[in-house]
Homo-oligomer: A and B are copies of this chain.
Amino acid sequence: MPDSISDTSFGFDIAAIDGGARCGVIRTGRGQIRTPAFMPVGTAATVKAVYPDQVKAAGADIILGNTYHLMLRPGAERIARLGGLHSFMRWYGPILTDSGGFQVMSLANLRTLDEEGVTFQSHIDGARHLLTPERAIEIQCLLGSDIQMQLDECIPAPGEHAEAARAMELSLRWAKRSRDAFEARRDADNGGAGQALFGIVQGGTYADLRRASAEALAALDLPGYAIGGLAVGEGHDVMVATIAETTPFLPVAKPRYLMGVGTPADLLAAIGHGVDMFDCVMPTRSGRHGQAFTWGGRVNLRNARHADDPRPLDPNSACPAARDYSRAYLHHLHRSGEYLGAMLLSWANTWFYQELMAAARSAISVGQFEAFVATHKDRLNAPEPV
């Protein structure tokens, strides 16, 4: 029997479980996603400074698009007229879109939130918009996204318990409206083959709220679940503790997505607690600012010590950006403000994050995830030793 609102062609197969971690494959109408999966962020219909074929060759099975940005520019209806987001940006694998809610809260002006939804002014041109759970689904359908997210309310950290409870309850009611909108659309136009809607667990850093949110969402029998409202200032340890208090109450057989996270060490910790999917701007944003991620640690290419260093970032990488160009050259490009500096490091970091996920999947599949984490965790987040 297929899930109530997921097409038969959407599904999740767990291949191995290793402690709290698992690896597997998410099936979508546009192809498979190997998990644990890191989704490069293509906010405005482009993974910043990286060509789509480079994203693919790096090993990414799925990317993320931001509904808030795309609805404002170039507009969801325009993208639909042009054939959908995939052909617009020439990414033909699966795409997950967020609901737009998080960025309405962080970027838009004059926000007013009520039971119906959230009204706001565009940060680009000041135009007024209303985003409801139904409109968020409609936009994501216009974009043609393969994994769609319910509209939710994410409060700033640290929030009071009552405020976190209120936002979590509202998000839960919005989850039901999102589900109904997603189902209605599928019934109406027979679309949505291989597409899925994910619910979002909220509740701040309060274990009781996270549990209540997870259990209530689980009762909706959605195709997948996200953990939202983290990585908003609470710190690594509190974040990991909150994840650990959430995943036990999510269905084992459904994919779990930790939104907006994070550093390599964040990812490994969350995988250890059963998270399957991630997205974060960190690899590309850091790349634009001269920071590289490597197995040896973080490398700030703007640092003067690289000016005469003929070594590449990582001679063992299969990524040309990490393997073929000297640190001296990367240093020069970043000091000179050259496009190619951002291009090469965004590419190298996008690749490294995929290497990290591939290595995690490999370790899980042979029951060595704990040893893998012990070997790499501390080094990955620290500056590379000089």
Q: What residues of chain B lie closer than 8 Å to A90, measured between beta carbons?
A: 324-325, 329
Q: Is the CB of A46 within 8 A of B82?
A: no
Q: Is the CB of A310 within 8 A of B83?
A: yes
- Please tell me which stretch of A139-147, A148-156, A332-340, A361-369 contacts chain B, meaning at least 4 of its Cβ atoms lie within 8 angstroms of it: A332-340
Q: Is the CB of B74 within 8 A of A343?
A: no
Q: How far is the CA of A89 from the CA of B330 in the complex (A)?
A: 10
Contact with B along A53-89 (1 / 0, CB 8 A): 0000000000000000000011000100111000011
Q: How far is the CA of A339 from the CA of B51 in the complex (A)?
A: 10
Q: Given contacts A88-B326, A307-B78, are A73 and B336 in contact (CB under 8 A)?
A: yes
Q: What residues of chain B lie closer than 8 Å to A343, measured between beta carbons?
A: 49, 51, 339, 343
| Interface: A3 (CB within 8 A) | no
Q: Is the CB of A308 within 8 A of B78?
A: yes
Contact with B along A282-323 (1 / 0, CB 8 A): 000000000000000000000000011010000000000000
Q: Given contacts A82-B310, A90-B324, are A338 and B74 in contact (CB under 8 A)?
A: no
CB<8 Å pairs between A and B, sample of 26: A44-B332, A44-B333, A45-B329, A46-B333, A46-B339, A46-B340, A48-B339, A49-B339, A49-B343, A50-B340, A51-B340, A51-B343, A73-B336, A74-B335, A78-B307, A78-B308, A82-B326, A82-B329, A83-B310, A88-B328, A88-B332, A89-B329, A90-B324, A90-B325, A90-B329, A343-B343
Q: How many copies does the complex hold?
A: 2
| Interface: A342 (CB within 8 A) | yes
Q: What residues of chain B lie closer than 8 Å to A307, measured between beta carbons?
A: 74, 78
A contact residues, total (Cβ < 8 Å): 34
Q: Is the CB of A335 within 8 A of B73?
A: yes
Q: What residues of chain B lie closer than 8 Å to A308, measured between beta carbons?
A: 78, 81-82
| Given A44-B333, A45-B329, 12 new contacts (CB under 8 A) | A44-B336, A46-B333, A49-B340, A73-B335, A74-B307, A74-B328, A78-B328, A82-B326, A88-B326, A90-B324, A339-B339, A339-B342
The 8 tightest CB contacts between A and B, nearest first, are A49-B339, A46-B340, A74-B332, A44-B336, A46-B338, A82-B328, A88-B329, A48-B339
Q: How far is the CA of A90 from the CA of B329 in the complex (A)?
A: 10
Closest chain B residue to A340, Cβ basis:
B46
A interface residue numbers (CB < 8 A to B): 44-46, 48-51, 73-74, 78, 81-83, 88-90, 307-308, 310, 324-326, 328-329, 331-333, 335-336, 338-340, 342-343
Distance in Å: Cβ of A127 to nearest Cβ of chain B: 15
Q: What residues of chain B lie closer than 8 Å to A46, measured between beta carbons?
A: 333, 338-340
Distance in Å: Cβ of A36 to nearest Cβ of chain B: 27
Q: What residues of chain B lie closer than 8 Å to A342, measured between beta carbons?
A: 339
Distance in Å: Cβ of A123 to nearest Cβ of chain B: 12
Q: What residues of chain B lie closer than 8 Å to A329, measured between beta carbons?
A: 45, 82, 88-90
Most B CB contacts (10 A, CB to CB) among A90, A333, A340 go to A340
Q: Is the CB of B44 within 8 A of A338?
A: yes
Q: Is the CB of B48 within 8 A of A338?
A: yes
Q: Is the CB of A73 within 8 A of B332?
A: yes
Most B CB contacts (10 A, CB to CB) among A46, A81, A90, A331 go to A46
Q: What residues of chain B lie closer than 8 Å to A340, measured between beta carbons?
A: 46, 48-51
Distance in Å: Cβ of A309 to nearest Cβ of chain B: 9
Distance in Å: Cβ of A336 to nearest Cβ of chain B: 5
Distance in Å: Cβ of A311 to nearest Cβ of chain B: 11
